[in-house]
Structure 1
């Protein structure tokens, strides 16, 4: 499904609406060019999950944990050169069931993603406008996707339900 955002505030609102359907153990793989809005999306979702501290991109530290009503793990794998580097960081141990996990540049680590995850691809259309494609990956997410689609309906483009 495709959503349209006309501002960073819209992007955060879309993420917050999606976050209402998230639960501990969920993985969200984000993709998009530099500056597309991946961190902005995580900010909106994290706030909806009860994170009160400032959420910034963990580009240089790779992984940042945030306490909230639902704990959030925010990863940015942009600087990794290969999948082995992610494995060496203890990636498999990070994928526990106690928190929601957001992975910026998730498309770069596709072979290591779990069978069940949400894919969020953000495209910079022009200025502050973004196209945000959300896709369920795996049977369990496909079964859970109807509430996500309902929550995102205000931003959906025609023909993408």
Structure 2
């Protein structure tokens, strides 16, 4: 009978430990970026499956002046991709408006690439809000939304994609 009680108490103790709840308030997603594109929710990391920023490949967004946050759905050359170029001078808590891209590297910008269609998307409105920056750990968190069209420079651009409820949580300048 003592053996039964010992095993019963041991089992109860293990069960209580195993079932303990995590009351942590850190609701960090396992994804570096999330967003709703035309109402459909997506969870993304960069094309390598991590939350590390990528170096930029465009001359007008040099890595010395910008960090690039890439969220990919479908991996390298896959479906949709969101690229956020944050100008290093904008790497502070605050909201940064988005407008039609000028391709001169003077401001932060967001692109939506949809490899599932032949349309070329240009962002014409929206904003990036940086909610946390840690210059020691080299992390940046924030939110974003934007609208894109085939002809963003038109007098009244026709929105093809509305991207809302965007979030990001990235490490930048990773060696």
Q: TM-score, normalised by structure 2?
A: 0.23
Structure with greater contact order relative to length (CA < 8 Å, sep ≥ 6)? 1
Normalized per residue, the structure richer in helix is 1
Higher share of residues assigned strand? 2
